[in-house]
Chains A and B, each alone.
Chain A
Amino acid sequence: MDASWKLTEAQLREWLQGLLEKYDVVAPAEEDGVVLFSRITSEDEAIVEPSGKTRWSPKEFLFPRTEALYHYTFGSGKVQLEDPSLPERPQVLFGVRSCDASGLVRLDEIFLSGTTDRLYAARRENTTVVTTACAAADPECFCTAVGGSPVGEEGSDVQLVPLVEGWLLRVLTDTGRDLVGEAKGDWSAATAKDVKRLPALEKKVSKEIERSPVNKEWSKVLEEGFEHGVWNRLSHQCLGCSICAYVCPSCSCFDMNHNGNAWSGAQNRSWDACTFPLFTLHASGHNPRTTGHERYRQRVLHKFAFRGDEDEPFRCVGCGRCVALCPAGLDIVNTVAAAVDAIREEGADAAR
């Protein structure tokens, strides 16, 4: 499966333009000075660079910010229900960073486990992911601290690796092979030297990420220190704005609400966040998480604790967006490290 080619920038652009004939292509593109994943209509809109990331993750193309789960109409004394239509054209997510591709796999673990989410499954099945390995780290990046890699393959069908000049293209799955299709006709095969670029980049970028790794054994420490007073101290800055959840590639919590009138309506869902006070409010008025520190703790622990077994990955993929965009300057890796230190030093039940 590991077929590799070396492409010039022009060849890459030609391939991308060709994809537009058959696929809806979503790629990083500039919008009002911000780089965001958008549906492109021409290859020159796509920003495919050796490093740098979009403001938001691409998760909304599998799990939209808001969508109807079904529609209903009232007429002649009857209620009629209708499923939303499913995507017809296949979709390519192009230029996805390794961290974001891992984020999509974390979403799969939620939406495709137990009861399958039909809408998510339909989009997922219809989607091919082309990742771009990183030749440099952004200041907020910390994928290597949470088990990821700047050249990681998780969730990737085709991987693009920036060479000093041009790109190494690696096919990683059957779906990826279909995407390359006939286009490879005039591409040259990758050399052993090109392939060596992978470990070289991994080493270089890992060095740029100056963060101590989060130890998997810390999950248990965090769980034991659930009621430790440190959470009060660590969450003081949190404003509860939930930007961290909205930009997170792996956050999957959602709300469900009816929008309707006397004739028709829909059951909708939209992104939600455990850092909002209404998230867990019962109709009776009871709320298990009335304080900000309980909500912030939930967010941190859902990413870094309560893993089923040792092999289960953290639910944080290390993109660092929540660190870069937090208006209060909170840093989830520092929070975890500080919590673990305090719990270990003061004991699991120390002062509230």
Chain B
Amino acid sequence: MPLAETVPNPYQPKLMRIQEYTDETPDVRTLKLQFVDGDEAADFGGWEPGQFGQFTVFGAGESVFALANAPWRPNGDHGAEPTIECTFRMVGKVTSALRAMSKGQVIGFRGPYGNHFPVDGWKGKGLVFIGGGIGMAALRSAMLDVINRKSEYGEVVILNGARSVADLVYTEEMPAWQEVDGVRVVRTVDPGGETEDWDGEVGLLPNVFEKLGLDPEGRIVIACGPPIMLHYLFLSLGKVGYSPDQVVTTLENKMKCGIGHCGRCYVGPFSVCRDGPVVTWAELNELPKDY
């Protein structure tokens, strides 16, 4: 049989319907999506935390978002219908078009792509999730997976920062995370970003992290945020005594194809979409500063 008949078109997305959405901030929205076609839903292989998808607004284009809800695993404990959530900020052509869509409308999804956080390898360890701004979206799947089976992990600290109180995401669900035994949520906003009734910290994420005084022994740090935040966070982590292989992050480079072909997301020999996006700080140190 000719090869082309047996090879699926990697670029043709699956159609998904917007079931619900939550407005996290004035410019950040979380979508809840379900497959339009029952057969495609049944064939869906699920994903692991840290993987991402390409989301299509027909006529506008594609954008990459992290798969942000607890991982859907084919044999996992979940409802029959796979649901995908993604959180995006309205910044460009595609995300503006996506923001203008309403419940019931259809978009495209292809994925999951990339590697994932080694959540099973973290069993028994203390975890510190550090998310800056919308960087929380890339961590949420792993956080929810860990919280859902908290007994398998040590203390979980979630450190969430944003420029201002209005820019904090997932604020509605955070109290519920807090209630799980052994989960601590610390929130901070940049100086000047606080409101009168703000009861969290005020300060930049790396400084707040240092103040927490979390002993590196037996802990893993999982961080995601803008490049400038990561730069200073790594300095703080080094100061507190964390070694580079204890720190995991997820790279965000411009991507188009998602399958390592279009050449856009290379960092030296490392294709972020194919070989990443999840990397340890130790692995990052081996790559050229090209991200």
Contacts and interface: CB of A to CB of B under 8 A. Distances in A.
A301 to B, nearest CB: 8
Question: How many residues of B sit at the interface, in one of the four size bands?
Answer: 35 or more
B268 interface: yes
Interface residues of A, number: 56
Contacts of B15: 79, 81
10 contacts: A69-B11, A70-B9, A118-B8, A118-B10, A119-B9, A125-B3, A227-B289, A258-B58, A269-B262, A279-B254
A144 B257 CA distance: 34
A117 interface: yes
B4 interface: yes
A284 B260 CA distance: 22
B288 A118 contact: no
B12 A70 contact: yes
Contacts of B259: 114-115
A215 to B, nearest CB: 19
A279 B12 CA distance: 23
A122 to B, nearest CB: 3
B191 interface: no
Given A83-B9, A255-B262, A288 B2 contact: no
A113 B9 CA distance: 14
Contact of B9 (A118, A284, A302): A118
Residue of B13, B266, B291 contacting most chain A CB atoms (<10 Å): B266
Contacts of A78: 106
A226 B7 CA distance: 39
B69 interface: no
Interface stretch (A97-105, A259-267, A321-329): A259-267
A284 B226 contact: yes
A351 B161 CA distance: 36
Given A114-B274, A282-B254, A252 B9 contact: no
B262 A298 contact: no
A325 to B, nearest CB: 21
B91 interface: yes
7 closest pairs, A vs B, by CB?
A122-B4, A253-B263, A306-B269, A115-B259, A69-B11, A283-B92, A260-B59
A219 B285 CA distance: 19
Interface string B83-112: 000000001100100000000001010000
A3 interface: no
B116 interface: no
Given A115-B260, A226-B290, 4 more contacts: A121-B7, A253-B263, A267-B11, A289-B290
Given A70-B9, A282-B254, A288-B253, A252 B261 contact: yes
A111 interface: yes
Contacts of B58: 72, 74, 79, 258, 260, 265
B3 A79 contact: no
A281 interface: yes
A261 B60 CA distance: 9
Interface of A: 69-70, 72, 74, 78-79, 81, 83, 86, 110-111, 113-119, 121-122, 125, 223, 226-227, 252-258, 260-262, 265, 267, 269, 272, 274, 279-284, 286, 288-289, 294, 298, 301-302, 305-308
Given A74-B58, A258-B58, A284-B226, A253 B260 contact: no
Contact of B257 (A118, A256, A306): A256
Interface in B1-39: 2-4, 7-13, 15
Contacts of A86: 4
A288 B291 contact: yes
A114 B274 CA distance: 9
A279 B264 contact: yes
Contacts of A258: 56-62
Given A118-B4, A121-B3, A280 B264 contact: yes
Contacts of A252: 261, 263
B3 A280 contact: no
A69 B3 contact: no
A77 B126 CA distance: 49
A286 B226 contact: yes
B121 to A, nearest CB: 24
Nearest to A114: B260
Given A79-B58, A81-B12, A125-B3, A272 B262 contact: yes
A254 B288 CA distance: 23
Interface string B37-59: 00000000000000000001111
Nearest to A116: B7
A282 B187 CA distance: 27
Contacts of A118: 4, 7-10
B9 A69 contact: yes
Nearest to A110: B261
B194 interface: no
Contact of B262 (A83, A256, A282): A256
Contacts of A70: 9, 11-12
A278 to B, nearest CB: 9
Contact of A294 (B2, B10, B106, B290): B290
